[in-house]
């Protein structure tokens, strides 16, 4: 009988203790971080304006304040050697420069400089990548949103590049409502089960797949992925216009998008190793990148 | 190279030139009743002051001057045995020691040899099975590896799991041997239990430094676990029932004093309770598989007084999975991992001074992750399945010899030939749906690599100096040949009667390593070989220490330094399950590690109260060119301070208690320390360096007690224990969470206060 009582007591303690939530929260100690300027800027050759986002970094602390910038400036120097200062747009909160009278050619070096009071001046530069032409594109849209068993969409593109450099690319589709399926099951299945050809990653904004010349032999490539094409009430695909957008990007953009995909992947998972975000801003954080683009309409 | 060889040979022959006519007394020391052969038993002649000890197979050999000798045979946990003999010829004897059930008094005989002071290797710790069994047990299962985690210089891995890290090394740098065969996954149920069933373990030794030359293949530690052989005289057994697992153990003679068997089975049954619960509360039909079982079986056959044959197998299997049945589909997922070990061994007493152990061994570790989903559409049934598999197999032949030419030398030498087979991660994908059939296999193909090792070592005494000197040579063939001559030196110098100074130096090389995520180790971590692109790991370790004893308590203090080269890690952004088209070798980068520190240890092995106390102060670093911008960073298990205290007290033959308390500085983790905004308005959290933050310190108290009662034909044992008795929330993982327009750190623990009761019957 005594043993039975002991057993019962043990079971109760075990059950109760397993149901207690045991987490502990701590305030993050005072910010052990020196604020630096953050640049976000990507433009495509052929754009009419260039936009630069400029802010300060912020410490991860309970009530860390993001410092206001005093006397900030952004200057870009193009291949003609002229430094042009960007103007701040209150509505977009971006620094902008019109490119109407600016000639940009593949191979040009474009430099950026930005600063503010009490911050180190930051620098970056990019070489405008060579053009790459899309010769053809064909899409098989078979996937549905949340049925794991269904096959994936398949996009086949043919491209032509006639330089000997090691090129980098980002590819995306453009249509209303397009995005990659980003539910966690789909992303896990995608990376773990389906072969992703070479170093292909879904980069930022759920729009791109990035890859490089070294990832495929020849000029034909298959990219398995999921899209959500709009359907009517009977589940039939609606007729839509869609374009394949192929960007020829710099290596810095390739590394940034590639690392960004892993940062997104790791950020909610305490069991995944930390990934360093690839950045190309000297004395600061963020990215300044350029691409060339070609488009082809899908039927 | 040449200088090492010269030193060994001169010491081999130097002493013998001074010897007189001697006769050899040799034989075995066994436990009375079971005839289990006992290792590390001291045999000491009190007249000539010469002594020796038994090897792993219970054999000893002692050459003494002809005349009367007064032998003292002693081992912890057994009654001492004295006998006189007039030595006029080579003599072979068998000594039977009686297991001591009497409570010993506190008084300690001053003339008794105290092992730690005289032990040549400074980094060797032997733990008696009684101390292991008396320690409080998590979930009622006595666990050898959890006791190993309580030793100084040893860091536990994550809470509740069985990985251990010795002086800055990672978990895969420990050579864990089960009867001399390496075991590649030493845990069950994701680390909650170890693969070692304490009921079949005879003894274990941990080497943290001063590695004897007969061991090789890992750079940080050797855990040598030896199993019982089986009772040669009587049938015995044990049945145990705990809250989540049960055991059955049987052993006995097949033919008395000639052959014996031993079988031990364990099984957990958490899933039985869980499935019953699910049936009651859940609508969907669900089934959980979360269990393990293992089987140890051994057979020994005495051919004659000088020859014995042993055969043993171990099979352990784990599964963690679930199945969900819905009207139109079935989903099944399971993670399975298993170990299989088999061995056949021949012990031969070639002569009074010469003993051999020859064996053929097999070890296999396999991990699989299955996911399948079947659509039960009325028009088309189809199955989509994937299977990830990782496997390592080892087939080896070993020859080992003990040669004791005189009391001043104990020579061991031998050779091992091993054939490794690796399957470092393959993925099979099958989809039999008509519209898009897939049947493909991706990932690394099987790799075969042989390894050869040769060694020679000598334990010698010259006045106050004892030395254990050896050479280990190994060569690994993998399209490219890697080889290394590895010197091993341990010295013990008696400063005073009960104080000795110790020094050791070890060079080690490791051709097989475990590739794992730094954040957590999982059974899916893969064993990889050195290849043409990946150099083998190697290390140098130096230790300097002092040891003494006082009133039956051993004290030691050691300073150590270890340098590790070619340690492996995933590159940033790489992982096992990402970019499976990329060869696994290209996902790995190699770097270096460094650890240093000071350890204090005191241990009491005799008396009603036994236990130990250890304190370690250490630092532990890693550096890779491609990680953390090439700057060195703290290793995840870099714990500046760690304390281990273990105590057990036997109040009477019927009642005993025990307690353990551990403390460690928190693990090093990577936490972001700044935020930047990317252009779609989303914040990115960035850490400016790896392992830049410390979790809260870890500490925990476990208590236990045991009640024994003699019944008619058996002994009934009730064990009660409480793990984490004061309910400390020890952090298991850590994350940044939103909090009041800012952020906070959240630590989450997983193991609460866990009481346990188990009932056993020994017969």
Q: Which residues of A touch B727 (CB under 8 A)?
A: 17
Question: What pLDDT is stored for residue A126 in this prediction?
Answer: 95
| Paired strand residues for B615 | B600, B643
**B579 and A199 in contact (C-beta within 8 Å)?**
yes
C-alpha–C-alpha distance, residues B21 and A35, integer Å:
83
DSSP secondary structure code for residue B740 in this structure: T
What six digits make up the tokens of B624?
């890779």
C-alpha–C-alpha distance, residues B443 and B581, integer Å:
6
Closest-CA distance, B144 to chain A, in angstroms, reads 24
The pLDDT of residue B12 is above 50 = no
Quick: pLDDT tens for B241-285: 887 788 999 999 999 889 999 999 999 877 776 676 666 666 555
Question: What pLDDT is stored for residue B160 in this prediction?
Answer: 61
Choose between B546 and A156: higher pLDDT. B546
Q: Which residues of B touch A267 (CB under 8 A)?
A: 685
Mutate: best of A193, A262, A285, partner B, most B CBs <10 A: A193
Instruction: Report CA A224 to chain centroid distance, whole Å.
Output: 18
Question: What pLDDT is stored for residue A245 in this prediction?
Answer: 80
The pLDDT of residue A192 is above 90 = no
C-alpha–C-alpha distance, residues A115 and A102, integer Å:
23
Q: Does 2.60.40 match the CATH number of domain A133-277+292-298?
A: yes
The pLDDT of residue A180 is above 50 = no
Question: Do residue A18 and residue B752 have CB atoms under 8 angstroms apart?
Answer: yes
Closest-CA distance, B332 to chain A, in angstroms, reads 13
Lowest average pLDDT, out of A260-264, B355-359, B640-644, B741-745, goes to A260-264
**Range from A218-222, B187-191, B489-493, B687-691 that averages highest in pLDDT:** B489-493
C-alpha–C-alpha distance, residues B423 and B694, integer Å:
36
Backbone angles phi, psi at B252, to 5 degrees: 170, 175
Half-sphere exposure of B147 (CA within 13 A, CB side): 31
C-alpha–C-alpha distance, residues B447 and B480, integer Å:
13
Lowest average pLDDT, out of B105-114, B635-644, B675-684, goes to B105-114
| Token pair 């954040």 in the structure block, residue | B519
C-alpha–C-alpha distance, residues A36 and A27, integer Å:
23
The pLDDT of residue B531 is above 70 = yes
Query: Residue B279 contacts by C-beta under 8 Å, 6 or more apart in sequence?
Result: none
Q: Which residues of A touch B698 (CB under 8 A)?
A: none
- Chain A, residues 201-260, CB within 8 A of chain B, namely 204-205, 258-260
Nearest to A151 among B435, B570, B741 (CB): B435
Nearest to B733 among A25, A61, A271 (CB): A271
Q: Which residues of B touch A23 (CB under 8 A)?
A: 729, 746-749
Choose between B384 and A133: higher pLDDT. A133
Quick: pLDDT tens for B134-190: 777 766 677 888 888 888 899 887 666 668 899 999 989 999 999 999 998 888 877
C-alpha–C-alpha distance, residues A206 and A147, integer Å:
19
Mean pLDDT of chain B: 83
Q: Looking at the domain A37-127, which fold is it?
A: Immunoglobulin-like (2.60.40)
Question: What pLDDT is stored for residue A224 in this prediction?
Answer: 56
Question: What pLDDT is stored for residue B46 in this prediction?
Answer: 83
Question: Do residue B373 and residue A148 have CB atoms under 8 angstroms apart?
Answer: yes
The pLDDT of residue B322 is above 50 = yes
C-alpha–C-alpha distance, residues B463 and B14, integer Å:
13
Question: What pLDDT is stored for residue B594 in this prediction?
Answer: 97
Nearest CA in chain B to A10: B755
Q: Which residues of A touch B746 (CB under 8 A)?
A: 23-26
Closest-CA distance, A14 to chain B, in angstroms, reads 6
Question: What pLDDT is stored for residue B561 in this prediction?
Answer: 97
Which of B209, B207, B206 is closest to B196 using CA atoms? B206
Closest-CA distance, A282 to chain B, in angstroms, reads 15
Lowest average pLDDT, out of B58-67, B403-412, B623-632, goes to B58-67
For B704-726, what is the mean pLDDT? Answer: 89
Please spell the DSSP secondary structure of B657-678, one letter per residue: EEEEEEEEPPPEE----EEEE-
Choose between B661 and A271: higher pLDDT. B661
Closest-CA distance, A124 to chain B, in angstroms, reads 17
C-alpha–C-alpha distance, residues B360 and A71, integer Å:
78
For A35-51, what is the mean pLDDT? Answer: 90
Which of B521, B61, B758, B331 is closest to A273 using CA atoms? B521
Question: What pLDDT is stored for residue A265 in this prediction?
Answer: 66
Strands A37-44 and A285-298: parallel
C-alpha–C-alpha distance, residues B639 and B668, integer Å:
8
Q: Which residues of A touch B517 (CB under 8 A)?
A: 271-273
C-alpha–C-alpha distance, residues B739 and B744, integer Å:
6
What radius of gyration, in Å, describes the C-alpha atoms of chain A? Answer: 25
Question: What pLDDT is stored for residue A15 in this prediction?
Answer: 65
What number of other Cβ atoms are within 10 A of residue B420's Cβ? 22
Q: Which residues of B touch A195 (CB under 8 A)?
A: 440, 442, 580-581
The reply to whether A37-127 and A133-277+292-298 are identical in fold is yes
Strands (E), B432-552: 438-443, 447-462, 465-477, 481-496, 499-510, 512-515, 526-529, 537-550
Quick: pLDDT tens for A47-105: 889 999 999 998 887 666 778 899 999 999 999 999 999 999 999 889 999 988 888 99
Choose between B608 and B537: higher pLDDT. B537
A20 touches chain B (CB under 8 A): yes
Instruction: Band the pLDDT of B723: cuts 50, 70, 90.
Output: confident
Mutate: best of A24, A262, A288, partner B, most B CBs <10 A: A24
The pLDDT of residue A153 is above 90 = no
Nearest to B754 among A17, A285, A286 (CB): A17
Mutate: best of B742, B751, B759, B761, partner A, most A CBs <10 A: B742
The alpha carbon torsion through B147, B153, B155, B161 (nearest 10 deg) reads -30
Strands A109-115 and B50-53: unpaired
Quick: pLDDT tens for B485-513: 999 999 999 888 889 999 999 999 999 99
What six digits make up the tokens of A5?
């009582």
Question: What pLDDT is stored for residue B101 in this prediction?
Answer: 59
Choose between B2 and B487: higher pLDDT. B487
Domain limits, chain B = 2-102, 124-762
Right CATH for B124-762 from 2.40.170.20, 2.60.120.260, 3.40.190.290, 3.30.300.30: 2.40.170.20
The length of chain B in residues reads 763
Closest-CA distance, A13 to chain B, in angstroms, reads 7
Choose between A293 and A232: higher pLDDT. A293
Closest-CA distance, A260 to chain B, in angstroms, reads 9
For B212-230, what is the mean pLDDT? Answer: 94
Nearest to A270 among B382, B575, B734 (CB): B734
% helix / strand / coil in chain A, to the nearest 5? 15, 40, 45
| Token pair 């000491």 in the structure block, residue | B44
Question: Do residue A270 and residue B671 have CB atoms under 8 angstroms apart?
Answer: no
The pLDDT of residue A146 is above 50 = no
What six digits make up the tokens of B231?
């009772």
C-alpha–C-alpha distance, residues B132 and B145, integer Å:
10
Nearest to A22 among B670, B745, B749 (CB): B749
Question: Do residue B690 and residue A274 have CB atoms under 8 angstroms apart?
Answer: yes
Question: Do residue B519 and residue A277 have CB atoms under 8 angstroms apart?
Answer: no
Choose between B751 and A191: higher pLDDT. B751
Nearest to B742 among A6, A63, A149 (CB): A63
- Chain A, residues 83-102, CB within 8 A of chain B, namely none
C-alpha–C-alpha distance, residues A6 and B193, integer Å:
24
| Paired strand residues for A140 | A154
Instruction: Band the pLDDT of A284: cuts 50, 70, 90.
Output: very high
The pLDDT of residue A134 is above 90 = no
Question: Do residue B519 and residue A270 have CB atoms under 8 angstroms apart?
Answer: yes
Question: Do residue A271 and residue B517 have CB atoms under 8 angstroms apart?
Answer: yes
Helix (H) or strand (E) holding B93: strand B91-97
Strands B742-748 and B221-227: unpaired
C-alpha–C-alpha distance, residues B203 and B225, integer Å:
6
The pLDDT of residue B4 is above 60 = no
Query: Residue B625 contacts by C-beta under 8 Å, 6 or more apart in sequence?
Result: B589, B591
For B108-117, what is the mean pLDDT? Answer: 47
Longest dimension (CA), chain B: 95
Which of B36, B17, B20, B19 is closest to B28 using CA atoms? B36
The pLDDT of residue B133 is above 70 = yes
Q: Which residues of A touch B582 (CB under 8 A)?
A: 198-199
**A250 and A289 in contact (C-beta within 8 Å)?**
yes
Instruction: Band the pLDDT of A212: cuts 50, 70, 90.
Output: confident
Between the alpha carbon of residue B702 and those of residues B159, B429, B655, the distances in Å are 14, 46, 17
Which of A275, A248, A249 is closest to A261 using CA atoms? A275
Question: Do residue B579 and residue A196 have CB atoms under 8 angstroms apart?
Answer: yes
Q: Which residues of A touch B578 (CB under 8 A)?
A: 191-192
C-alpha–C-alpha distance, residues B526 and B112, integer Å:
48
Nearest to A195 among B581, B727, B735 (CB): B581
Nearest to A274 among B440, B687, B727 (CB): B687
Nearest CA in chain A to B516: A273
C-alpha–C-alpha distance, residues B149 and B166, integer Å:
9
Which of A43, A40, A110 is closest to A287 using CA atoms? A40
**Range from A200-214, B258-272, B621-635 that averages highest in pLDDT:** B621-635
**A59 and A48 in contact (C-beta within 8 Å)?**
no
A26 touches chain B (CB under 8 A): yes
Share of chain B above pLDDT 90, in %: 38
Mutate: best of A34, A140, A149, partner B, most B CBs <10 A: A149
Instruction: Band the pLDDT of B108: cuts 50, 70, 90.
Output: very low
C-alpha–C-alpha distance, residues B300 and B54, integer Å:
19
Nearest to A60 among B442, B673, B754 (CB): B673
| Paired strand residues for A75 | A85, A113
Question: What pLDDT is stored for residue B115 in this prediction?
Answer: 60
Nearest to A28 among B435, B436, B743 (CB): B743
Domain limits, chain A = 37-127, 133-277+292-298
Question: Do residue A63 and residue B579 have CB atoms under 8 angstroms apart?
Answer: no
The reply to whether B2-102 and B124-762 are identical in fold is no
Nearest CA in chain B to A17: B752
C-alpha–C-alpha distance, residues B308 and B257, integer Å:
12
Lowest average pLDDT, out of B326-330, B607-611, B725-729, goes to B326-330
Instruction: Band the pLDDT of A125: cuts 50, 70, 90.
Output: very high
Lowest average pLDDT, out of A252-261, B7-16, B552-561, goes to B7-16
CATH of segment(s) B2-102: 2.60.40.1120
Closest-CA distance, B258 to chain A, in angstroms, reads 42
What number of other Cβ atoms are within 10 A of residue A27's Cβ? 13
What six digits make up the tokens of B260?
């014996």
Instruction: Report CA B444 to chain centroid distance, whole Å.
Output: 29
C-alpha–C-alpha distance, residues B566 and B528, integer Å:
13
Lowest average pLDDT, out of A237-241, B91-95, B363-367, goes to A237-241
Indicate if ipTM > 0.90: no
Mutate: best of B679, B707, B730, partner A, most A CBs <10 A: B679
Q: Is B189 left (phi over 0), alpha (psi -120 to 50) or beta?
A: left
Share of chain A above pLDDT 90, in %: 25
C-alpha–C-alpha distance, residues B155 and B133, integer Å:
20
């Amino acid at each position: 009988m005594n043993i039975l009582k002991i057993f019962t007591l043990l079971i109760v303690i075990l059950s109760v203790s397993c149901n207690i939530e045991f987490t502990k929260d701590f305030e993050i100690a005072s910010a052990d971080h020196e604020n630096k300027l953050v640049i976000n800027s990507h433009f495509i050759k052929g754009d009419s304006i260039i936009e630069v986002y400029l802010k300060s970094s912020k410490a991860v602390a309970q009530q860390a304040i993001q410092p206001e910038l005093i006397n900030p400036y952004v200057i870009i120097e193009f291949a003609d050697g002229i430094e042009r200062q960007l103007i701040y747009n209150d509505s977009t909160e971006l620094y902008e420069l019109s490119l109407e009278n600016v000639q940009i050619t593949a191979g040009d070096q474009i430099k950026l400089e930005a600063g503010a009071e009490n911050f180190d001046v930051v620098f970056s530069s990019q070489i405008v990548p060579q053009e790459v032409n899309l010769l053809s594109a064909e899409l098989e849209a078979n996937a549905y949103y949340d049925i794991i068993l269904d096959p994936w969409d398949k996009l086949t593109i043919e491209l032509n590049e006639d330089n000997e450099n090691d090129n980098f690319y980002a590819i995306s589709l453009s249509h209303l409502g397009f995005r990659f399926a980003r539910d966690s099951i789909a992303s896990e299945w995608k990376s773990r089960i389906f072969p992703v050809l070479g170093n292909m990653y879904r980069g930022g904004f759920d729009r791109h797949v990035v890859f490089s010349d070294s990832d495929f032999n020849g000029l034909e490539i298959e990219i398995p992925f999921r899209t959500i094409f709009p359907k009517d009430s009977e589940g039939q695909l609606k007729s839509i216009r869609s374009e394949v957008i192929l960007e020829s990007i710099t290596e810095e953009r390739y590394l940034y998008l590639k690392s960004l995909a892993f940062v997104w992947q790791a950020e909610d998972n305490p069991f995944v190793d930390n990934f360093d975000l690839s950045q190309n801003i000297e004395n600061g954080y963020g990215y300044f990148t350029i691409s060339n683009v070609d488009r082809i309409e899908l039927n | 190279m040449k200088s090492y060889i010269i030193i060994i040979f001169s010491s081999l022959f130097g002493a013998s030139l001074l010897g007189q006519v001697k006769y050899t007394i040799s034989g075995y020391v066994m436990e009375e009743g079971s005839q289990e052969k006992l290792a590390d038993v001291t045999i000491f002649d009190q007249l000539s002051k010469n002594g020796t000890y038994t090897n792993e197979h219970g054999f000893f050999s002692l050459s003494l001057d002809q005349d009367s000798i007064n032998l003292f045979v002693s081992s912890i946990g057994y009654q001492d045995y004295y006998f006189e003999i007039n030595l006029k010829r080579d003599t072979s004897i068998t000594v039977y020691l009686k297991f001591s059930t009497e409570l010993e008094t506190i008084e300690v005989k001053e003339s008794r040899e105290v092992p730690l002071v005289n032990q040549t290797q400074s980094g060797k710790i032997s733990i008696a099975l009684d101390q292991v069994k008396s320690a409080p047990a998590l979930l009622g299962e006595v666990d050898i590896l959890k006791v190993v985690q309580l030793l100084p210089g040893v860091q536990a891995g994550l809470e509740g799991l069985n990985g251990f890290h010795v002086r800055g090394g990672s978990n895969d740098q420990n050579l864990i041997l089960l009867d001399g065969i390496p075991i590649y996954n030493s845990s069950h149920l994701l680390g909650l239990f170890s693969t070692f069933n304490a009921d079949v373990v005879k003894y274990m030794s941990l080497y943290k430094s001063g590695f004897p030359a007969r061991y090789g293949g890992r750079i940080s530690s050797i855990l040598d676990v030896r199993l019982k052989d089986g009772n040669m005289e009587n049938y015995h057994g044990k049945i145990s029932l705990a809250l989540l697992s049960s055991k059955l153990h049987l052993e006995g003679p097949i033919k008395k004093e000639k052959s014996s068997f031993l079988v031990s089975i364990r099984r957990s049954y958490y899933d039985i309770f869980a499935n019953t619960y699910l049936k009651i509360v859940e609508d969907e039909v669900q089934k959980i598989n979360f269990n393990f079982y293992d089987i140890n079986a051994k057979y020994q056959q005495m051919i004659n007084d000088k020859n014995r044959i042993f055969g043993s197998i171990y099979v352990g299997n784990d599964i963690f999975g679930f199945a969900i049945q819905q009207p139109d589909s079935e989903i099944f997922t399971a993670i399975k991992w298993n170990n299989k070990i088999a061995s056949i061994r021949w012990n031969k007493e070639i002569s009074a001074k010469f003993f051999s152990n020859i064996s053929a061994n097999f070890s296999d570790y396999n991990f699989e992750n299955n996911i399948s989903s079947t659509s039960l559409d009325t028009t088309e049934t189809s199955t989509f399945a994937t299977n990830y598999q990782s496997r390592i197999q080892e087939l080896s032949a070993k020859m080992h010899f003990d040669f004791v030419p005189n009391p001043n030398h104990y020579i061991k030498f031998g050779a091992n030939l091993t054939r490794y087979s690796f399957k470092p991660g393959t993925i099979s994908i099958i989809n039999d749906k008509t519209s898009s059939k897939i049947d493909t296999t991706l990932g690394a193909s099987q790799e075969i690599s042989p390894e050869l090792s040769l060694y020679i070592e000598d334990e010698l005494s010259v006045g106050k100096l004892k030395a254990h000197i050896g050479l280990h040579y190994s060569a690994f063939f993998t399209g490219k040949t890697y080889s290394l001559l590895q010197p091993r030196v341990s010295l013990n110098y008696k400063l005073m009667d009960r104080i000795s100074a110790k020094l050791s130096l070890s060079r080690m090389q490791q051709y097989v390593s475990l590739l794992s995520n730094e954040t957590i180790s999982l059974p899916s971590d893969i064993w990889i070989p050195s290849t043409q692109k990946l150099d083998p790991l190697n290390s140098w370790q130096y230790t300097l220490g002092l040891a003494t004893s006082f009133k039956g308590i051993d004290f030691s203090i050691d300073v150590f330094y270890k340098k590790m080269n070619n340690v492996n890690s995933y590159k940033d952004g790489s992982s096992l399950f990402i970019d499976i088209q990329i060869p696994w070798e290209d996902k790995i980068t190699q770097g270096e590690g460094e650890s240093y520190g000071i350890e204090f240890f005191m241990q009491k092995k005799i008396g009603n109260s036994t236990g130990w106390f250890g304190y370690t102060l250490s630092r532990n670093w890693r550096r890779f060119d491609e990680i953390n911008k090439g700057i060195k960073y703290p290793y995840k298990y870099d714990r500046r301070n760690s304390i281990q205290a273990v105590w057990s007290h036997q109040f009477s033959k019927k009642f005993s208690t025990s307690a353990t308390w551990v403390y460690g500085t928190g693990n090093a983790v990577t936490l972001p320390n700044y935020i930047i905004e990317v252009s779609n308005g989303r914040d990115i959290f960035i850490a400016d360096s790896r392992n830049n933050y410390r979790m809260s310190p870890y500490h925990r108290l476990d208590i236990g007690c045991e009640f024994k009662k003699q019944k008619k034909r058996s002994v009934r044992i009730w064990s009660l224990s409480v793990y984490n008795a004061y309910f400390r929330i020890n952090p298991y993982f850590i994350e940044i969470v939103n909090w009041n327009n800012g952020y906070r750190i959240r630590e989450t623990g997983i193991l609460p206060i866990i009481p346990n009761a188990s009932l056993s019957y020994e017969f």
